A and B are shown apart, each in its own frame.
Chain A
Amino acid sequence: MSTTKDFPPPVKWVDDRLGIGKIGKKNLRKVFPDHWSFMLGEIALYSFIILILTGIFLTLWFKPSMGEVEYQGSYSLLKGLHMSEAYASTLDITFDVRGGLLMRQIHHWAAVLFVASMMVHLLRIFFTGAFRKPRELNWVIGFGMLFLGIIEGFIGYGLPDDLLSGTGLRITQGMIQASPVIGTYLSFFIFGGEFPGNEFVSRFFTIHVLLIPGLILALVTAHLFLVVYHKHTQYPGPGRTEKNVVGYPLMPVYMAKAGGFFFVVFGVTALMGALLQINPVWLYGPYNPAEVTAGSQPDWYMGWLEGSVRLMPGFESHFWGVTLSWNLLIPALIIPPAFVTLVALYPFIEQWITGDKREHHLLDRPRNMPTRTGIGAAFITFYGLLWIGGGNDLIATHFGVSLNNVTWFLRVMIFLGPVFAFWATRRIAISLQRSDNDRILHGLESGIIMRLPHGEYIEKHTPISTYEAYELTARDRILPLDIGPETDENGVRAPKRAINKVRARLSRFYFADSVQKPTAEEIAEAHAHGHHDDHEELGHAAEVPGLTGTVEVDDETAREQITKH
């Protein structure tokens, strides 16, 4: 038919072989919702691409070998020194390859940003409940990438074989060696013998440029595929339901916005690489197992593990001819894996407690899940305190306080801090829920103070828009789980009683104190009062020009007085 549109020849050629039209039909105008917090994951994706691009550049000159050479490059302070080829080639990239230092610094900044953005993205997902069904698996995939990203970063940090990275590896080796039963064997297999040996740079290089990036790439693909398949979550609001997604189309808006954002992220990391020095390995010198610098610090994302190891008191058990190093076992091999497992499994834990098996595409505002938000705050506090512990020496020297006191303070706070953070955050969330309800029922404080005929002062409230009121009430009314009576009418005990009691208790813990949104009747009642008085009092206000001064009247009293009047 002459009216049938056909692809232009090159596209047609591809479509004839790959059927791209079928894929494009669904996705070309795919709708994505708009919110700044949805860009955090994009930053992670883009920094990963930047890492691949700059990383390929670096591999063209880097020599992953621990063979000893005498440095003869253009950095005169290290000339003639014996060092590994890895360190010498890192110096060559820095001083003798034009743009090499820039690429090294972009690579390192992007690595720091990669882990940071993944972590902040994870927090966004957590606090808005975006991990709920059907996205639990994508949470686990994302978590896997964060885990791999941290290992990848740490291994990359070890490759230049400078004094600082060698110190980091020495610490890691010490932890591996202290693992129960297989520690020494594991260490000898990883390092090809005793530490430092001459194997780890070449081994770590392959892991760093091939194995882990490959795994991350596979996970990124799965992650994005699922984002497309599930369609993006959206914040509740007018016209947004569990059955739709409201926003702008991929072509053209998000191609331009997301594509543009890639260049913005790349641009900013490139500017950081140009302007902000990072990991100046030439200042540290080659690795020497007999030397270390005071104030040695790993990259930021290793800080919490470092802190965990630093805060632990020195316990060790000797029995049956073996040594068990609790001082490493607990802070390095028990707490971190337990913590990350808890984070990885959180969606399943919460789902079990709430018993909620529905699909969720509308996000929670953090205040509307006070307990979850409190748990998140406790996690952040725990992590943050460990992270601070990783720099206890720097805090001591910079603030002129005792290192031992800083350490002891953190040893105590690691237990108290998360509890306090949980409690405070939960209270704040509940207060914010109340304030939302006030806003729905009584409207905004207009700042207009009126005097009633009998001399009382009240403040006029203006109702909020229907759109806003809908946005504030577009959430579930969730009551704690009620497990019903012990026995049914025939006297038969309900099954799984014990486990259901635990569940009910946890459910109460989650939902009992949460403030429910007002019912339609409550809103109607509140508005009936408001409307009745609004006109009259506005009139009053108009008749009393120059009326100033404010008198605080709480809503309850005001309403009572209005009713009496």
Chain B
Amino acid sequence: MSDEKLPVVPGEHDSSVVVAEPIPDPGIEPHEPRITDIDPKAADRVERQVATLFSLAGLLALGSCVAYFAIPRDSTLEFGPLSGNANNLVIGLCLGLALFMIGAGAIQWAKKLMVDTEISEERHDAHSSPAQKADIIEGFQVGVAESGFTRRKLIRRSLIGAMGLLGLPAIVMLRDLGPLPGRSLYNTIWAKGIRVVNDVTLRPIKPSDLIVGQLVNAAPANLAPMQEESAVEYQNAKAKASVIVVRIAPNEIRVPAGRENWGVDGILCYSKICTHVGCPISLYEQQTHHVLCPCHQSTFDLADGAKVVFGPAARPLPQLPLAVDAEGYLVAQSGFTEPVGPSFWERG
């Protein structure tokens, strides 16, 4: 693109002209002496200040070592409503102040005692000189010619191909980072006849244990025994199988089509794992039957099929069909009929 199409900048090729107009550069302002430049007493005073800061820093460094050994590590210091671990606090204060004083001393020294006359240094263009450029170009061309890299196409192409293919093992070797997802996101450990248990007491729940308006965090009865066998399997299962059991006055419930027999006397069971990004939802508002996810505030109406009433979640919480077993405890009629937790591509 030609020069006249560029924005209009007067004196483009000599930038010093640009800044000198309309007022000529008066040059660096004359140095104004500081009090420490004129008055030796003031300078001595600053010297004492700096030396005091440095000495105190040394003492505080020692102090932190003394505190390390002298203060029991479980003692606390209290200042009204504030309290802290004494060992931690005193070591930290000594170290922090020591470091700060070294810094403050050095800066005071630089600002008050070191020569503060501004000096000017020439800049040079970032690019290389024409002679350097010519040298490099010549050297490069000689190198290219001597190697025959441009002339011998077979060598060039096979090399580029080989280098490109080397990228493949770099990716393939990472294959064993994890198993393939398979069907694992579709299944939980819930199945027909599994009892619903309180997730803290692990006791099975009878419909009569729940009053209207109550919400219980629950888990499948077969979860807790997994902990003995494998902590990781237990955590993974828990991350999918956690549920909430809620009892709502039957006349307030709007039952979605096909789920007429999924509840027991107004007792409904939903996945506790948010359909947004998988946080366990737990904030229940009894009067509105809304449950709120504390992570991103998606709000679900448990009386209306756990539909989303607010927030970023796009799908209702999956519902677990409930029944009562022979002994009168709540059990699952089956596993979840859809994957729980956040959405994923293959989910459909």
Contacts and interface: CB of A to CB of B under 8 A. Distances in A.
Interface of A: 30-31, 66-68, 74, 82, 95-96, 98-99, 101-102, 105-106, 134, 167, 170-171, 173-175, 177-185, 187-199, 229-231, 236, 238-249, 252-254, 256-257, 259-275, 277, 288-296, 306, 309-316, 318, 321-328, 331, 354-359, 361-362, 392-393, 403-404, 407, 466-467, 469-470, 473-484, 496, 500, 507, 511, 517-520, 522-523
Contacts of A480: 7
A482 B8 contact: yes
A404 B310 contact: yes
Contact of B297 (A239, A259, A407): A407
B120 to A, nearest CB: 5
Nearest to B90: A274
A197 B232 contact: yes
Given A173-B277, A268-B96, A479-B8, 16 more contacts: A31-B119, A184-B181, A188-B181, A190-B177, A193-B184, A194-B184, A195-B239, A248-B116, A260-B109, A260-B110, A266-B103, A274-B96, A290-B219, A296-B294, A314-B298, A477-B10
A273 B25 CA distance: 49
Interface in B205-253: 217, 219, 227, 231-232, 235-236, 238-240, 242
A112 to B, nearest CB: 16
Contact of A175 (B1, B232, B277): B277
Contacts of B236: 193-197
Contact of A193 (B107, B179, B341, B346): B179
A487 B8 CA distance: 20
Contacts of B5: 355, 481-484, 500
Interface in B77-99: 84-85, 87-89, 91-93, 95-99
Given A242-B15, A290-B199, A479-B7, A268 B347 contact: no
| B109, B282, B311 pick with most chain A CB within 10 angstroms | B311
B125 interface: yes
B175 to A, nearest CB: 8
Nearest to B313: A314
| A179, A257, A331 pick with most chain B CB within 10 angstroms | A257
16 contacts: A101-B85, A173-B278, A184-B181, A198-B231, A244-B120, A260-B104, A266-B103, A267-B97, A292-B294, A309-B277, A323-B345, A325-B343, A355-B6, A356-B6, A470-B26, A473-B22
Contact of B25 (A96, A106, A238, A477): A238
B23 to A, nearest CB: 5
B85 A289 contact: no
Interface residues of B, number: 108
A151 to B, nearest CB: 18
Contacts of A296: 294-295
Contact of A238 (B26, B107, B313, B348): B26
Contacts of B311: 310, 314, 407
Contact of A475 (B19, B26, B177): B19
A170 B278 contact: yes
A266 B295 CA distance: 34
B178 A171 contact: no
B96 A267 contact: yes
Contacts, number: 387
B42 interface: no
A193 B178 contact: yes
A167 B280 CA distance: 9
B195 interface: no
A261 B107 contact: yes
B58 interface: no
B173 interface: no
Contacts of B308: 314
B345 A183 contact: yes
Interface string B111-130: 10011101111110110000
| B227, B296, B312 pick with most chain A CB within 10 angstroms | B296
Interface string B272-297: 10001111101100000000001111
B315 A316 contact: yes
Contacts of B100: 263-264, 267-268, 270-271
A62 to B, nearest CB: 17
Contact of A246 (B8, B118, B232, B295): B118
A373 to B, nearest CB: 18
A310 B10 contact: no
| A243, A273, A290 pick with most chain B CB within 10 angstroms | A290
A407 B87 CA distance: 44
Contact of B118 (A101, A247, A291, A314): A247
B120 A98 contact: no
A186 B126 CA distance: 43
A149 B23 CA distance: 45
A551 B178 CA distance: 80
A171 B219 contact: no
Contacts of A240: 28
A189 B177 contact: yes
A285 to B, nearest CB: 13
Nearest to B117: A248
Contacts of B193: none
Given A275-B92, A313-B312, A260 B29 contact: no
Nearest to B6: A355
A98 B312 contact: no
Nearest to A524: B22
Contacts of A476: 9, 18-19
B216 to A, nearest CB: 12
Contact of B120 (A246, A252, A478): A246
A154 to B, nearest CB: 15
B4 interface: yes
B118 A248 contact: yes
Nearest to A323: B347
B127 to A, nearest CB: 8
Which 10 A-B pairs give the minimum distances between C-beta atoms?
A274-B92, A174-B277, A267-B100, A260-B106, A263-B103, A239-B28, A270-B96, A264-B103, A316-B314, A267-B99
Contacts of B310: 404, 407
